[in-house]
Amino acid sequence: MSVGSSLITTIFCDVGGVLLSNAWDHEERHEVLPRFGLNEADFAARHEKLVVPFETGALSLDDYLDQTVFYTSRAFTREDFKQAMFPLSQPRSDALKLVRALAGSGKYFMATLNNESREFNDYRIQTFRLREIFSLFVSSCYVGLRKPDEPIYRLALELTQKSAGECCFIDDRAPNLEAPAKLGMMVIQAKDADQLRRDLQALGITP
């Protein structure tokens, strides 16, 4: 956590790793691929070549699967595979409850700032009712930029017309906090809901 002003008006929050499980990270891939008899090393090599266009909205989920799974004939269908992928998204209930309370207080402008492919992002927003919490989704698939690169944080500030000093950004990964801290945003690395609550309180952020 970076200690700073308590006059925070805006909270930007990552989604996967903070409010929900990750959608399609290495742990999720490790869970699904063996079920379908897929070679994890081969999949990883194909995935790494596609992850940027996939997460910046240039590649659809179907196109991604064409190049990572269905480049050859399979004994299972595309829908079979998708039905194994989407339910991996699970809530981190305590963190969700905390952020929902912050939104409900009416004291803060709430926005996501996350890397995610479009289909997963849309599914997670709908399934976990994130529109009830956030007024803006600065998601990589919508804006064509990704963390930890500085332009996505600059765009978030421009879209909200907020100064960096009145913003707090929450993420579970330290490298994603470097650029926003450099810009002057308050940052918190979230590990669990209790720690997140304490660090928010230290910045004067309460429901």
Q: Where are the domains of the chain?
A: 10-22+90-202, 26-88
Q: Is the pLDDT of residue 4 over 60?
A: no
Confidence of residue 1 (pLDDT cuts 50, 70, 90): very low
Domain 26-88 of CATH type 1.10.150.120: no
3-state secondary structure of 32: helix
Which tokens go with 93? 């209930």
Query: What average pLDDT does range 84-94 have in this prediction?
Result: 98
For position 6, what pLDDT does the model report? 61
What pTM value is reported for the model? 0.94
Cis peptide before 148 (omega within 30 of 0): yes
Cα distances (angstroms) measured from residue 180 to each of 55, 156, 166: 20, 10, 12
Say which residue the tokens 């989407």 belong to: 86
Cis peptide before 91 (omega within 30 of 0): no
Beta-carbon neighbour count of residue 130 at 10 Å? 22
Mean pLDDT computed over every residue of the chain: 96
CATH fold of 10-22+90-202, please? Rossmann fold (3.40.50)
For position 96, what pLDDT does the model report? 98
